[in-house]
Amino acid sequence: MHRRRLAIIRKISQGFSLINPSINPRIDGVLRCRFLSSMPPPPPPPPSGRLPPDPDDLSALMKEDAISVCSSMWIDSFRDTECTVSNLATHLRRFELWVLAYQKVCAEETGSFTPRSAIQRSALEDLLGLRNAVLDSRFKWGARLESFIRSPKDKVDLQSLSKRKIKAILTTTQPTVFQDRIVQEVLLMILEPIYEARFSHKSYSFRPGRNAHTVLRVIRRSFAGYLWYIKGDLSTILDGMKVGLVIGALLRDVRDRKVVDLIKSALVTAVITSRLDEGEKKKKKKRKYQKKRVLAEDEPKPDPYWLQSFFGFAPEEAEKLPSWGHCGVLSPFLANVCLDELDKWMEGKIKEFYQPSKSDVIWNSPEGEEEQGNTSWPEFVPTSGPDKTRKMDYVRYGGHILVGVRGPRADAATLRKQLIEFCDQKYQLKLDNESLPIEHITKGILFLDHVLCRRVVYPTLRYTATGGKIISEKGVGTLLSVTASLRQCIRQFRKLGYLKGDRDPDPQPCFRMFHATQAHTNAQMNKFLLAMVEWYRYADNRKKVVNFCSYIIRGSLAKLYAAKYKLRSRAKVYKIASRTLSRPLKEKKGQSPEYHNLLRMGLVDSIDGLHFTRMSLVPDPDYTPFPSGWRPDHEKVLLEYIRLADPKTIEEQRTYLKEQGLITPQDYISMLVWNYKRNAIVVDQLPLKEICSRVTHMGTSQEDVGIQHGDEEETRVRFGAGQMQ
């Protein structure tokens, strides 16, 4: 700071002489003395003679890797999940997190990830100014003209804009400001590990490591034997909640004023969505011939056609993404924070509802988690007479819930009434019986575009009777079936324009791929088919539904090629291009231009044919057993790391090794060093029993005792070798 003051004084003194070079030197000296006398005195230097560290020094702020900072935050959160967090401002000051957030937002903006070494110094200085503004409460959400940092793609000079363009920027809907997205990413990196360690295991949306497939596998694993199902739609909560309810849910675990006020201002600040008046709009004449728009080098490419088509197949439960104020990517996280109270309430109801039955062969453990029966086939529920176990389960995906009840319908009706009262008191959400219907398993329950139904099976049960005699008899039970909804699949195809009709669907040509080559079109549709195969991976009718999708896409492409190459019918297209559409098609005047070079070089086989043209080519459903206490891989690694870092775990392992007579690598190296120092005997030449005896009885003999009391240096070498490793 002292150097900066001297530099400023020197520049100002030079400025006096530059203003008027003909000024009298005496007057110049008087002005300088008056100016210097008005300046405050510089701070005294530190006692050591060194200048204090600059808090804005970029090299001093980025000493640690941002990934290691995030990892330590996740470990600390999972190590202690009960305490209330109140010191998040220290994480908000970490400049490494701001640089990582800048890299992530730039990757979304430009389509390529920028390494930290490639970030310009000017951008880092602007990013530091943004961080300081957030810490000093000078940051404002949605500032479109006054920004601390701008996107590398933004080349607009705001000073050269006209009043009309500035008014349009301030009054019309605009994409999220670049600096707002950086602040949102930083807040998400700080808050997500805290709540991921506390969220209920019954929610599976907007969370890392969980997706719709996880929900389907949990339903197949845990919902077997349930007769009544309550399906609820709470997606109106995702449209927005009162700010007081959101902040109240956030304050249950986070008490940092800086972070809470920042999120509150994001929720309160109005989002500009209005447009200009109709009179001010100028009608633009459509040109008859428009040039094809060429993307810039740093501009991200739009989603390919196959990905857009697959997004059109998104189930109803995954269509709505919350967007609250200026929260951006924080909105789904805040929705989970608010709905976590519902998850915890349902977990309490599950424990209250559970009543085991001694005559039932399953679910008779105290907690109802461990089944007594065939664990390799958990979806099979044998019949066990009139007296059955009363049990319920619950899952939530976004704003949609599914409750399974094993028991009388009256219990399901009572639970529905309590659920309506809870949502009214907690979320001020008015629900009725129609929004929470109770359906029997025989009717089929549609959830995530999959139908849950029940099948009665008669497997052969083999068991050992008294005397060791094996008895085989026919058993009766139910099997939970998770099948893909073909009706829903037809509806989605009709919405995308691939077919028309319901009872007898007729494929329609996808004219959006008219100007693409045959190789490119086939490649796009193959990626779409592979995505459909993966989406219906856990459906019992996977072969049937994927074969239907392949038929629709193949017919759509055949009609497209018939119109493009003037072949009039699908039959002629199949005759020339074969069933898989892998042979190049020809026009009337000869070979088509897109395949001329391929045919001349003999590379006709480079055109990929369509996949899954026959049902036998579709893979079988995935029936891999799903564990009852499932956790994502990253949570397993975190919990294992925390367990191994606990001193109690290390002591337990050492005790177990001593009881079993085993040797740790540290003890083995310690014994190797000690024998080499003392007797020059290689440990590998000694028998294993002698090594174990020496390790276990180390220090108990008279010689060792004398050495311990006499020569402390050799003893330190002996027992320090294991600690060094």
What is the Cα 12 distance to its own chain's centre? 54
Higher pLDDT, 465 or 100: 100
Cβ contacts of 492 within 8 Å, gap of 6 or more = 312, 313
Q: Is the pLDDT of residue 385 over 70?
A: no
Q: Is the pLDDT of residue 15 over 80?
A: no
pLDDT digits (tens, 9 = 90+) for 251-301: 999 999 999 999 999 999 988 887 544 444 455 555 555 566 666 666 667
Mean pLDDT over each residue of the chain, to the nearest integer: 80
Q: Is the pLDDT of residue 35 over 50?
A: no
Under 8 Å between Cβ of 355 and 390: yes
- The residues that bridge with 232 in the sheet, in sequence order, are 401
CA-to-CA separations, 99 to 58, 111, 118, 244, 273, in angstroms, rounded? 11, 17, 12, 32, 30
Q: Which two tokens stand for residue 231?
A: 């399906």
- 400-406/438-440 β-pairing: unpaired
Instruction: Give the C-alpha separation, 155 to 149, whole Å.
Output: 12
Instruction: Give the C-alpha separation, 550 to 669, whole Å.
Output: 63
Q: Which two tokens stand for residue 413?
A: 């009706």
Q: What is the pLDDT of residue 542?
A: 96
Instruction: Give the C-alpha separation, 322 to 333, whole Å.
Output: 9
> pTM here?
0.79
Higher pLDDT, 639 or 144: 639
Q: How many CB atoms lie within 10 A of CB 253?
A: 18
DSSP 472: E
Q: What is the pLDDT of residue 260?
A: 94
Least confident interval from 36-45, 525-534, 610-619? 36-45
Q: Is the pLDDT of residue 168 over 70?
A: yes
Query: What is the pLDDT confidence band of residue 725, given thresholds at 50, 70 and 90?
Result: very low
Query: What is the pLDDT confidence band of residue 601, given thresholds at 50, 70 and 90?
Result: low
Cβ contacts of 458 within 8 Å, gap of 6 or more = 474, 475, 476, 477
Identify the three-state secondary structure at position 359. coil
pLDDT digits (tens, 9 = 90+) for 491-531: 999 999 999 887 788 999 999 888 888 888 999 999 999 99
Single out the residue of 394, 397, 395 nearest to residue 405, CA to CA. 394
Q: Which two tokens stand for residue 683?
A: 């440990």
What is the Cα 376 distance to its own chain's centre? 30
pLDDT digits (tens, 9 = 90+) for 568-593: 899 999 998 899 998 888 644 444 44
Higher pLDDT, 168 or 330: 330
Q: What is the pLDDT averaged over residues 713-718?
A: 43
